[in-house]
Structure 1
Amino acid sequence: MTKIRSTAMSRTVPWKLLAAALALIALAGCGSQSKSSASLEGSKEAIALYNARCISCHASDLSGKVGPDSDLRTVGSRMTKEAIAKQITNGGDIMPAFASKLSADDIDKLADWLSKQQ
């Protein structure tokens, strides 16, 4: 009977260890120092628009997902508010135009907020 319990335990212990290891791996990213969308500062409306329309290409921390040009962490030091609004409206390179997807007021809110990212 002891052998049966040992065999049963040897089958369950690795699964428990595997589950614990996977949980630790999943939690490892939670302590990251990067700027997440929850910690972005500024207009709540602009951040909500960013999360709804921009995060898929520009990442939750503004670092970009589709190359260095999609990094918005310091976009305000590279572009004026007007240039940012024009880019959002008309698109460019691989960025799609958002003129038909966002109102002029929403584009202005995003451009104003992004111009402060320095």
Structure 2
Amino acid sequence: MLAKGLIVSAVLAVLLAACGSGGSGSGSAISTSHMDAPGKTGAVYKANCVSCHGSDLQGRMGAQTNLQQVGARMTEPEIVEQIKKGGSSMPPFEDRLTDEQIAGLAAWLAGKKKE
């Protein structure tokens, strides 16, 4: 279904609805690629998140989908809750991902902070 695809895209867009870094290009050298994710977390991100959040966490559906510095805006437990329950335009993933997959994503994303 097309609607399901749009929901999945919106899910990760909302994951960090508070993003708002504006993308003004501050030239920070922080690693933002999903390829720096540990173990299987990168594969989970690529399969479930990249369509909305982008391959470099830059966001593909507006500033709220940018995850490059999500750890500066949200704590790890808040990220877990966002992934599980969704919110705004992001659908919930608690029925699509295991608790282990969600915990891995949240731990990795919580480390994404301004340097």
Under a length normalisation based on structure 2, what TM-score does the superposition of the two structures give? 0.68
CA contact (8 A) 2:83 2:93 kept: yes
Residue 60 of structure 2 is matched in structure 1 by 65
Q: Is the helix fraction higher in 1 or 2?
A: 1
2:36 corresponds to 1:55 = no
3-state SS of paired residue (2:40): helix
Residue among 90, 108, 117 paired with 2:103? 108
Higher relative contact order (CA 8 A, sep 6+): 2
Identical aligned pairs, as a percentage? Answer: 41
How far off its partner does 1:67 sit?
Answer: 1.1
Q: Give unmatched runs, 5+ long, in structure 2.
A: 1-30
Residue 45 of structure 1 is matched in structure 2 by 40
How far off its partner does 1:42 sit?
Answer: 3.4
Structure whose alpha-carbon radius of gyration is higher:
1
Counterpart CA distance in 2 for 1:43 and 1:53 is 16
